[in-house]
Structure 1
Amino acid sequence: MRPPGTGERARRVMSKDPTVLARIARLKSGAPPRVLDLFSGCGGLSLGFHAQGFDIVAAVEFDPAAAASHGANFHPEDPRHGRPRDITRLTPEQLALELDLGPVEQAVDVLVGGPPCQAFARVGRSKLREIAEHPEAFRLDARARLYLEYLRYVQAFLPLAVVMENVPDVLNHGGQNVAEETRTFLEELGYDVKYSLLNAAFYGVPQMRERMILIATRRELGVEIRFPAPTHHIELPPGYAGSRQVALKLLNQGALLDTAPGYQPALSPDRSLPSAVTAAEALGDLPEITGHLRGEIRRGARRFDALVRYPHEPRSDYATLMRSWPSFENAEGVRDHVIRYLPRDWKLFGRLRPGDQYPEAHAEAVRMFNEALRDLQVQGRAPRPHSAEWRQLRASIVPPYDVGKFPNKWRKMEPDLPARTLMAHLGKDSYSHIHYDSAQSRTISVREAARLQSFPDGFVFKGAMNAAFRQIGNAVPPLLARAVAGEIAAAFQRAMAPDRPRTGRLAA
Structure 2
Amino acid sequence: MVAIPVIDIFAGPGGLGEGFSSLLGEENQRVFTISLSIEKDSEAHKTLTLRSFFRQFPIGEVPEDYYSFVRGEISIEELYRRYPDEASIAIHEAWQATLGKIPNSEVDKRISEALNGERNWLLIGGPPCQAYSVVGRSRRQETVLDASKDHRVELYKQYLRILAVHSPAVFVMENVKGILSAKTKENSIFSKILNDLSNPAEAFSNDTSLPVNHLPCPGYKIFSLVQKPIRYELDGKPVYNHKDFIIYAEEHGIPQTRHRVILLGIRNDIDFIPNVLNKTDYVALQDVIDDLPKLRSGLSKVKKVEDTDSKWLELIQNINFNSTEMPENLDVFELVQDRISNLTPSEHGIGGNFIPWPNVTCSYRQGWYHDPQLLGIPNHSSRGHMGLDLHRYIYASCFGILKGVSPKINDFPISLYPLHKNVDQAINTKKFADRFRVQLAEFPAKTVTSHISKDGHYYIHPDPLQCRSLTVREAARVQTFPDNYFFCGSRTSQFIQVGNAVPPLLAYQIADIVADIFGFIQFQSEEELNRAHCVSV
Give the TM-score, by structure 1 length: 0.67
* Structure 1 position 193 matched with structure 2 position 204: no
Preserved contact between residue 36 and residue 112 of structure 1 (Cα < 8 Å): yes
Preserved contact between residue 297 and residue 382 of structure 2 (Cα < 8 Å): no
Q: Which residue number corresponds to residue 41 of structure 1?
A: 12
| Structure-to-structure mapping, 1:131-150, within 5 angstroms | 142-150=151-159
* Aligned amino acid, residue 192 of structure 1: K
CA distance in 2, matches of 1:140, 1:429: 29
Q: 2:274 aligns with which of 225, 241, 245?
A: 225
* Structure 1 position 181 matched with structure 2 position 192: yes
Preserved contact between residue 132 and residue 176 of structure 2 (Cα < 8 Å): no
| Structure-to-structure mapping, 1:76-475, within 5 angstroms | 77-78=87-88, 79-91=91-103, 93-95=105-107, 97-98=109-110, 101-102=113-114, 106=118, 109-116=121-128, 142-174=151-183, 176-188=187-199, 189=217, 190-195=219-224, 196-230=245-279, 232=280, 275-290=281-296, 292=298, 295-296=307-308, 306-310=353-357, 312-324=359-371, 330-344=373-387, 345-352=389-396, 353-354=399-400, 355-359=405-409, 363-364=412-413, 366-367=414-415, 398-400=418-420, 401-402=422-423, 403-404=426-427, 405-475=431-501
Q: Deviations over 1:49-76 (max 9, x none)?
A: 1112210111111111111111110236
Q: Deviations over 1:335-374 (max 9, x none)?
A: 210121112212331222223245157x24x346xxxxxx
Q: Shift of residue 212 of structure 1?
A: 0.7
| Structure-to-structure mapping, 1:19-38, within 5 angstroms | 30-38=1-9
* SS of residue paired to 1:416: coil
CA distance in 2, matches of 1:358, 1:304: 30
CA distance in 2, matches of 1:107, 1:493: 15
CA distance in 2, matches of 1:83, 1:35: 14
Preserved contact between residue 105 and residue 158 of structure 1 (Cα < 8 Å): no
Q: What are the ranges of 5 or more consecutive residues in structure 1 without an aligned counterpart?
A: 1-29, 122-137, 233-274, 369-396, 501-508
Q: Sort the Cα spacing of 1:208 and 1:407 in 2 relative to 1 into closer, same or farther, 3 A.
A: same
Preserved contact between residue 393 and residue 464 of structure 2 (Cα < 8 Å): yes
CA distance in 2, matches of 1:320, 1:343: 38
* Aligned amino acid, residue 452 of structure 2: L
Q: Deviations over 1:122-158 (max 9, x none)?
A: xxxxxxxxxxxxxxxx979845442211111111221
Q: Deviations over 1:221-259 (max 9, x none)?
A: 2111332122x1xxxxxxxxxxxxxxxxxxxxxxxxxxx
CA distance in 1, matches of 2:131, 2:385: 36
Q: What are the ranges of 5 or more consecutive residues in structure 2 without an aligned counterpart?
A: 24-30, 55-86, 134-146, 200-216, 225-244, 300-305, 313-349, 527-537
* SS of residue paired to 1:221: coil
Q: Shift of residue 467 of structure 1?
A: 0.2
* SS of residue paired to 2:283: coil
Q: 2:34 aligns with which of 53, 56, 59?
A: 56
Q: Sort the Cα spacing of 1:347 and 1:311 in 2 relative to 1 into closer, same or farther, 3 A.
A: farther
Preserved contact between residue 72 and residue 82 of structure 1 (Cα < 8 Å): no
Q: Sort the Cα spacing of 1:143 and 1:332 in 2 relative to 1 into closer, same or farther, 3 A.
A: closer
Q: Sort the Cα spacing of 1:486 and 1:304 in 2 relative to 1 into closer, same or farther, 3 A.
A: farther
Q: Shift of residue 288 of structure 1?
A: 0.2
Q: Shift of residue 97 of structure 1?
A: 4.3
Q: Which residue number corresponds to residue 20 of structure 1?
A: none
Preserved contact between residue 289 and residue 362 of structure 2 (Cα < 8 Å): no
Q: Sort the Cα spacing of 1:464 and 1:480 in 2 relative to 1 into closer, same or farther, 3 A.
A: same
- Taking only the aligned residue pairs, the percentage that are identical comes to 26
Preserved contact between residue 39 and residue 97 of structure 2 (Cα < 8 Å): yes
* Aligned amino acid, residue 323 of structure 1: H
Q: Which residue number corresponds to residue 67 of structure 1?
A: 45
* Structure 1 stretch displaced more, 409-418 or 183-192: 183-192
Preserved contact between residue 6 and residue 32 of structure 2 (Cα < 8 Å): yes
* Aligned amino acid, residue 382 of structure 2: I
Q: Sort the Cα spacing of 1:58 and 1:415 in 2 relative to 1 into closer, same or farther, 3 A.
A: same
Q: Sort the Cα spacing of 1:470 and 1:98 in 2 relative to 1 into closer, same or farther, 3 A.
A: same
CA distance in 2, matches of 1:398, 1:94: 51
Preserved contact between residue 110 and residue 159 of structure 1 (Cα < 8 Å): yes
* Aligned amino acid, residue 189 of structure 2: V
RMSD of the TM alignment (CA)?
A: 3.2
CA distance in 2, matches of 1:91, 1:143: 17
* SS of residue paired to 2:521: helix
Which one has the bigger strand percentage? 2
CA distance in 2, matches of 1:91, 1:493: 35
Q: Sort the Cα spacing of 1:291 and 1:178 in 2 relative to 1 into closer, same or farther, 3 A.
A: closer
* Aligned amino acid, residue 435 of structure 2: K
* Aligned amino acid, residue 447 of structure 2: T
CA distance in 2, matches of 1:110, 1:219: 14
Q: Sort the Cα spacing of 1:32 and 1:83 in 2 relative to 1 into closer, same or farther, 3 A.
A: closer
CA distance in 1, matches of 2:480, 2:274: 25
CA distance in 2, matches of 1:191, 1:356: 44
Q: Give the length in aligned residue pairs.
A: 375
Q: Shift of residue 426 of structure 1?
A: 1.1
CA distance in 1, matches of 2:392, 2:382: 16
Q: Sort the Cα spacing of 1:314 and 1:413 in 2 relative to 1 into closer, same or farther, 3 A.
A: same
Preserved contact between residue 182 and residue 189 of structure 2 (Cα < 8 Å): yes
* Structure 1 stretch displaced more, 183-192 or 282-291: 183-192
* Structure 1 stretch displaced more, 79-88 or 33-42: 79-88
CA distance in 1, matches of 2:99, 2:18: 21
Q: Shift of residue 163 of structure 1?
A: 0.6
Q: Which residue number corresponds to residue 489 of structure 1?
A: 515
